[in-house]
Each structure stands twice: as C-alpha cells, then as structure tokens.
Amino acid sequence: MYDFVVVANRLPVDRVGERWQASPGGLVAALAPVLRARGGCWVGWPGETNTTLAPFSTGGIELVPVALDETDYTDFYEGFSNSTLWPLYHDLIVAPQYDQTWWERYVAVNERFALSVEKQAAHGATVWVQDYQLQLVPGLLRKRRPDLKAGFFLHIPFPSPDLFRQLPWREEILSSLEACDLIGFQRGTDEQNFRGLLPADASVRTGTFPISIDPKAITPGDPARVREAVGDPELLMLGVDRMDYTKGILQRLLAFEQLLESGVDATLIQLATPSRERIEHYRKTRREVEAAVGRINGRFGRIGRPVIHYVHHGVAKEELGSFYAAADIMLVTPFKDGMNLVAKEYVACHPDGSGALVLSEFAGAAVELHEAYLCNPFEVDSIVRAMHSAAHPDPQRMRAMYEWVTTHDVDAWAASFLEAL
C-alpha cells in the first residue's frame, strides 16, 4: 500500500514485445522525475493490449499495470479519449465524434483504473489523477474511498463553456471532477473556462499550475556532430513533435518553403514521433507532412543535400539534447497545446543566450515564454515573419527564458500542486 499514488492512462514505459521503452508525450516526461524523487506508485497501462502484468519497478519507480484489451483500445483510447475528448478540448481542429458505445467503454475503463488505485492506496493516501483519459476516476474514488485525498491535473487545454456543452456526457464528467479536492490547469484561461460551467457558489477548488521540465534530464550533448551530419548549414532550424494534427507541422513546412523562396539559405530537421497511428486524422496529417517534405526537397534540395531532414521515429533523450543545442531556431507552431514541453527543453539547452524560439501564441508555453518570437500558426505569413526575426536573435531574450525555465522546473510544479492539495 502506498501513501502517494499517481494514476495516468500510460505508464512511463511501454511494453514492446519482450522489451520496455520510454513512452511518448509530455505527461510522462514531466511526471517520471517527480515520482522518482517522491516515491509512491504509478498506476497505468503498459502500452500493449492484452498484456496482464504483475506490479514491478523500473528506473526507481514502482509501476502497477492496468490491462487494456483490443476493444478498450479502439473504444476507450482511440475512440472516446482521442476522437472525442482530444479534438473537443483542442478547440475542434478536427470534428469530435460522439458515440454512446465509446462512452460506455470510457466508463468501464475508468472504473478499472479506480479499482486498481483503491487496491494500492493506503488509508488517507494522496491520489493524483492525470489527464483527460481518466476524468471519471475522481468521482468513483470519492464514492468508494472517502478517506483519500484526490487531486486532478489536466495536461491539455480546457475548452470554452460553449464548446464543452457539445459533449452529451458533460454532466457526468463535471460532477466527477467536482468531487476532487483540487483541480489543476495549465493556463488561467483553462481554469476560467472550467469555472464558467459551474454555479457561482460551487465549492470545488481549482488552480493554475503551468507544468515544466526536469532540466537535469536534458543536456546539450554534441551539437557539432548534428550540424556536421546535415552539412554544416548557414541556418539550422528544428521541429520536434508527436505526429499530431494539433502541432501545426504542415503549416511550419509551408512557412519554411516560403522562407526558401525568399532566398534565405536554411536547413530544417523535423523529428516526428509516431502517434495514434490508426486514427484517420493522424494518418492524413502524416500523409500531408510527408508529401510536403518530398515536394520541398524536390524543389530546393540537391543530391546529398536535402533542405529538410525528416525522421518518423522517436529519438533517445541524450540525442535529443544534441539536436536542441545544434539548432539556431526552434519551431514550435501548434494550433493549440496545453503547454508544449519541447519549447522548454530547447530553452534549457541554451544556457549561453544562443538560439531563438519561434512559438505559437496558442501554446500554453507562450504565457511564460513571452521573449520567444511569437506567431499565429493559422497565418503562414506570421510564421515566416517570426522566422525572419528569429534569424537575427537578441541573446537577452534567450537568457531571460533560460532563467525562467531553470527556476520554474517540474519539481517546483509538483511541489506547488501537492502543497495546495
């Protein structure tokens, strides 16, 4: 039994056949160091269907696996979580689908997670529920284990009340969240959107806690090797994302193409981790990105010298630091993003004031990193203008952001949430 239990849809590691590998996304990157430092256990899904595993520990974290079968995967994970809630909470970049069968599976899987938490949590323990996949867990815990202290943190944006009201199951989700002792959001506007749905005298406590990174986990590595590998370009730009339609990767490529048309000599590295690959909108995003990479390389590349170096797989954290440190300009252009930890990781790899960050106004990170070169990703020209400015950066801007990111790290984030709880 544990006094501190984190529950998230994913464990920090994924089972791939006989091996374990770090699982994707910002939630895991942020929470793994928190659990390592504080102890307790992490309840989550091991990333492979039909795998029943006993609790085990890895990398200094106690893990309690929750099994998902193929129908859970299609209806709870791909369906309600990622084809209903994800697009709805990201302001309808694609249309959400509302399906009663998916909802029923979401209820059933949330019950399974709650049951597993109940088994692990000691009397009076603190349970920290993470993200949109598990919004019913707080309500279930409140009914069955009133002794527990329950906090919830939403890693993604919370939509405006008018959008949220589209959801046929809005009452069930709201009443579960209201059972929390504390609900945390990334930005003040997310918190206000949520409060806009509650009666004026609602007593549930909410707060804004912008998530951050562990600067020790990401270090500059060997930037010279990266620059040499891509032919020592004049100006090196970088994009690092999950392959997701929220990230604005295609818009960024179109802006890069315009920059080349205007005669600027630049090279782009785009690293894109595969994500949610069976969902049609994700497939379409990948097709469009890959078609644009091919077209732009065809127009501007030479034999042995592409202008875009694109990989569609994950990169080890040690290697990622070398890419961040090597890049003159980091391109973070999501249409909507809860925070975007990539932006903060890039800043953490530039302690000397080098580099520049082009950042979407619609990323949570823009609230804190206002010294970035901000752009509107819905307007390609706006991205191009930010790229031009970032090509002649003011080192004071990166220094200020570095100071902010290294003093407002993920330990400070977790401490502020848990103290408030």
- DSSP assigned state of 379: S
Q: Which does 286 bind (CB under 5 to 8 A by kind): ligand G6P, ligand ADP, none?
A: none
Find which of ligand G6P, ligand ADP, none residue 240 binds, CB within 5 to 8 Å per kind.
Answer: ligand ADP
Q: How far is CA 339 from CA 94, 137, 190, 211, 274, in A?
A: 20, 23, 11, 7, 20
- Assess 339 for contact with ligand ADP (CB under 6 A): yes
Judge whether 372 and 386 are in contact, CB under 8 Å. no
Give the shortest CB-392-to-ligand G6P separation in angstroms.
Answer: 33
Closest Cα to residue 237, out of 386, 374, 387? 387
Tokens, residue 315:
């990169």
DSSP state of 363: B
Instruction: Give yes or no for residue 359 binding ligand ADP (CB under 6 A).
Output: no
**If binding is defined by CB under 6 A, does position 87 make contact with ligand ADP?**
no
Pick the piece of the chain touching ligand ADP (CB under 6 A) from 39-47, 125-133, 339-347, 386-394: 339-347
* Shortest distance, position 328 Cβ to ligand G6P, whole Å: 27
Residues 12, 26, 40, 79: which binds ligand ADP (CB under 6 A)? 26
Which partner, ligand G6P, ligand ADP, none, binds residue 339 by CB below 5 to 8 Å per kind?
A: ligand ADP
What is the number of alpha carbons within 13 Å of residue 9 lying toward its C-beta?
Answer: 28
CB of 240: closest distance to ligand ADP in angstroms?
A: 5
In whole angstroms, how close is the CB of 24 to ligand G6P at the nearest point? 5
Taking CB under 6 A as the rule, does residue 240 contact ligand ADP? yes
**Using rule CB under 6 A, residue 241 touches ligand ADP:** yes
Instruction: Give the footprint of ligand ADP on residues 200-239 (CB under 6 A).
Output: none
What lies within 8 Å, CB to CB, of 296 at 6+ separation is 253, 256, 257, 260, 307, 308
333 interacts with ligand ADP by CB under 6 A: no
Closest CA to 351 of 325, 373, 332, 374: 325
CB under 5 to 8 A by kind: which of ligand G6P, ligand ADP, none does 348 bind? none
Note whether 131 binds ligand ADP by CB under 6 A. Answer: no
Residue with the CB atom nearest ligand ADP in the bound state: 26
Q: Name 201's Cβ contacts closer than 8 Å, sequence gap at least 6.
A: none
Q: Are 141 and 117 in contact (CB under 8 A)?
A: yes
Smallest separation (angstroms) from ligand ADP to the CB of 164? 20
Give the bridge partners for 206, in sequence order. 183
Which residues in 81-99 are b (16+ Cβ under 10 Å) and which e?
bbbbbbbbbbeebbebeeb
Residues near ligand G6P, by CB under 6 A? 9-10, 24-27, 131, 155-156, 275-276
Beta strands at 41-45 and 121-130: parallel, antiparallel or unpaired: unpaired
Compute the least distance from the CB of residue 323 to ligand ADP, in Å: 9
Contact between 409 and ligand ADP by CB under 6 A: the answer reads: no
Cβ at position 267, least distance to ligand ADP in Å: 18
The C-alpha atoms of residue 151 and residue 321 are separated, in whole angstroms, by: 32
Q: Which amino acid is at 366?
A: A
Judged by CB under 6 A, how many residues of this single chain contact ligand ADP?
17
Query: In angstroms, what CA-CA distances link 286 with 120, 170, 279, 312?
Result: 40, 31, 11, 9
Site for ligand ADP in 270-309 (CB under 6 A): 271, 273
Residue 245 or residue 402: which is nearer to ligand G6P going by CB? 245
> By the criterion CB under 6 A, which residues form the site for ligand ADP?
24-26, 29, 240-242, 271, 273, 314-315, 320, 339-342, 345
